[in-house]
């Protein structure tokens, strides 16, 4: 397995479907942390993931506390527009957990403030945009990581 992609409270089924497709293509496991903004059998989720969804390794958690307690001793990095370090500074390792927040507000303040040393951003070069689409951000991070661990 390359990485663990973690979506905390994802809201848009199409994004999650596309990220699932990316996870399968890159040998990653997808972790979904509830509450989800859609049902897991949502047709938009399946449509974005095409017929690949059935081959994907997906783990679902009831809440962020369940996820964190299960993986507290693992190598986790967090993505936020509030990060001080750029994503290419991440010391990528196989099986690392790449944690992303929900589309509307990102990761909670409690997560970003308590993990500032492991908080990274994908730099933006225009003042007219606040963030990338979640599926695009995950793609950037995963492929940067794959380049680093090869």
The response to whether 148 counts as a known ligand-binding position is no
The response to whether 17 counts as a known ligand-binding position is no
Assign residue 19 a region (left: φ > 0; alpha: ψ between -120 and 50; beta: otherwise). Answer: alpha
Query: Which residues partner with 85 through β-bridges?
Result: 120
Instruction: Say how far apart CA 15 and CA 136 lie, in whole Å.
Output: 9
The response to whether 101 counts as a known ligand-binding position is yes
Instruction: Say how far apart CA 16 and CA 13 lie, in whole Å.
Output: 5
Query: Which residues partner with 4 through β-bridges?
Result: 29, 97
Helix, strand, coil percentages in the chain from 3-state DSSP, rounded to 5: 40, 20, 40
Q: Which residues are annotated as a binding site?
A: 101, 122, 131
- Which residues does the annotation place in the binding site for S-adenosyl-L-methionine? 101, 122, 131
């Amino acid at each position: 397995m390359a990485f663990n992609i973690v979506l905390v409270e994802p809201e848009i089924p199409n994004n999650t479907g596309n990220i699932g497709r990316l996870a399968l293509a890159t040998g990653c496991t997808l972790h979904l942390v509830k509450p989800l903004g859609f049902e897991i059998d949502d047709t938009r989720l399946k449509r974005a993931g095409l017929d690949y969804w059935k081959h994907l390794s997906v783990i679902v958690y009831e809440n962020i506390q369940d996820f964190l307690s299960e993986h507290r001793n693992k190598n986790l990095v967090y993505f936020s527009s509030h990060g001080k370090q750029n994503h290419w500074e991440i010391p990528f390792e196989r099986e690392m957990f790449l944690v992303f927040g929900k589309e509307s507000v990102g990761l909670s303040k409690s997560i970003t403030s308590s993990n500032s040393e492991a908080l990274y951003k994908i730099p933006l070069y225009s003042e007219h945009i606040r963030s990338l689409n979640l599926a695009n951000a995950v793609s950037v991070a995963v492929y940067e990581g794959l380049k680093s661990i090869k």
